[in-house]
Structure 1
């Protein structure tokens, strides 16, 4: 069996035997995933990592954060010290405390998180949870395996062909927190335009993500508030369960608007409404950036940006956990370049300064 076709090896770590069994059923009924171990706490997970033969060691660990004996936050750095450490996806409750713990785990080296669904939403059998979990496990396992570079436009060279962007709109979903972090670190302080960001994420988690991004040394970041001025050098993150739009005041100043409008692409917040509002207000002075994520949210918004004369960039396939959203934009011929997040951050900084694109 080739490496590309080999099943993804997963270790489950959760103190509930019921949850471990349910997760194993969800994963093993899907093709291409194999559960190689189940642990009830961090100490058992570490013992399994040391005892499994090399061919059976997990590529991905799904790690609960709240467990007795040894919790996930204690186990996480110990897992990451192992030779050829697995990708660690943490599972947290849909609470403010759970969101804070998930962001702390990302800062400590976890690659991603999944919010545990409540019983009211269908629990572990919820289709949306299953789709997100499977996409993250497969995507991060693929990122851990040797990859053959895919041909693509890479670093394209072009001139702005017009004035520098007045505003930047960024959209992302699966794998987005890590991609956003890498991009934001390259923006630096003093960005001369505001940046609006839509990350598909539940209410409560977005405040913690904004705090996480705010600590990275780039532009200051916070959840957007309805009616606040959109100022240069700031990142405005759409709150969970609210669309983020822009509106122009009579003097031309831009302000944020939050909307409870219907979900688009099964999402609220969604990327498309944000980009449409920017294109309507700023025309060709919009820079849209689409990062990793499932589905095609952002495609319609990028069409509006391109039609108004704005510029669209997208994350490349090799660096994307899921090349759904950026892939849809690329296949539609809308992306002027496909780049990894770090290069996208540098490109944004260059373009908003009015210096054109890097060769």
Structure 2
């Protein structure tokens, strides 16, 4: 059976234009951003404001696809307002546009953890160069491209629970929107799984340490950045560093070691989900399982094939809850999944299936 669903969960106006709300304390910045977006046929600025309170008031009465949100605002800050904005307009994507929220900063990771879809560095009000307008349009378009493109979702892999090996290792891959999804996923973990958990989240190297700290606040499990040569132990979350893929090697006495690979994948991902999944299939065979969360592209699909071929199984995030249904949508398009679930339901499913209970 094949079902066609949209590749992304974004809601646009009927004409396909991204309705945009700009929230920035600078009238110059608001004006410049408005001109840039309105010059592109894919975007329309429908409102501008300088405060989070006014933005929330507008969202209570109007539909918006995208909010460009500054961090430094009079009154309530952008970070403080972000959860309320997402509650007021759940299908709206929020991109942080701030000069004080650069990639790798504490504020950037916190914004992503709270549910922001992307982080964009804002030039000073007097330094908007020729490169900024096309870069801004390209970056924002990534969040919405393909919204109307159907993807064929094949039937899930028919592996009966009683035929599956007991779970020995769980791998999780995520990209755009992944930090928020991970918070939901680990909130659904009610008890230890008894296995090591590997995690590859597409982030620059400068993010990794603080990201691991943030993740540690989302779960009762210990979280650490993976180190070369360390032995995997159960109920620990190993985060791939930003400059290497997390691979595994089975050594003496059947122990499994971390092997960090600094080479980007063929698609340019570093760290990559594909190498992590592939090495899990080699090290654990049918006892390996993977989870693919929201993200652009197809990273994780090739590795998922290896896990499934070895007798393991894959769970993918469902389309309605994904910021971008690229990575999980690719899994679904190839029929590699055994389930499509929203993040909060995934760990319960993993716990039951991993113990041969479904």
2:69 corresponding residue in structure 1? 63
2:17 corresponding residue in structure 1? 7
| Aligned counterpart for 1:219 among listed residues 210, 221, 233 | 221
Distance 2:141 2:232 in 1: 37
Q: Is the 8 A contact 2:153 2:335 kept in 1?
A: no
1:183 corresponding residue in structure 2? 185
Residue 47 (1) aligns with residue 70 (2)? no
1:228 corresponding residue in structure 2? 230
Q: What SS is found at the alignment partner of 1:284?
A: helix
- Please show how residues 1-359 of structure 1 align to structure 2 within 5 Å: 4-5=14-15, 7-15=17-25, 20=30, 23-24=33-34, 27-28=37-38, 30-39=40-49, 41=50, 43=51, 45-47=52-54, 50=57, 54-55=61-62, 58-66=64-72, 71-76=77-82, 79=85, 87-91=93-97, 93-94=101-102, 96=104, 98=105, 100-106=106-112, 109-116=114-121, 124=132, 131-136=138-143, 158-352=160-354, 354-356=355-357, 358=358
2:8 corresponding residue in structure 1? none
* TM-score (norm. length: structure 2): 0.78
Q: Is the 8 A contact 2:264 2:272 kept in 1?
A: no
How has the CA–CA distance of structure 1 residues 301 and 154 changed in structure 2, closer, same or farther, with 3 Å as cutoff? Answer: closer
Cα offset, 1:268, TM superposition: 0.8
Q: Is the 8 A contact 2:117 2:323 kept in 1?
A: no
Distance 1:151 1:328 in 2: 9
Residues 57-77 of structure 1: CA deviation (Å, up to 9, x unaligned): 534322122457764235546
Q: Is the 8 A contact 2:174 2:202 kept in 1?
A: yes
Q: Is the 8 A contact 1:264 1:270 kept in 2?
A: no
Q: Is the 8 A contact 1:189 1:218 kept in 2?
A: no
Distance 1:83 1:275 in 2: 35
Distance 2:183 2:60 in 1: 34
Distance 2:349 2:131 in 1: 41
Q: What SS is found at the alignment partner of 2:282?
A: helix
What is the Cα-based RMSD across aligned positions, in Å?
3.6
Distance 2:212 2:196 in 1: 15
Distance 1:156 1:309 in 2: 11
Runs (5+) with no aligned partner, structure 1:
143-149
Q: What SS is found at the alignment partner of 1:62?
A: strand
Aligned length: 336
Cα offset, 1:264, TM superposition: 3.4
Runs (5+) with no aligned partner, structure 2:
1-11
**Greater relative contact order structure (CA < 8 Å, 6+ sep):** 2
Q: Select between 227-236 and 29-38 the one with higher mean Cα deviation.
A: 29-38
Residues 170-225 of structure 1: CA deviation (Å, up to 9, x unaligned): 11112211221111112234221111111111122232222222112342222222
Cα offset, 1:115, TM superposition: 4.4
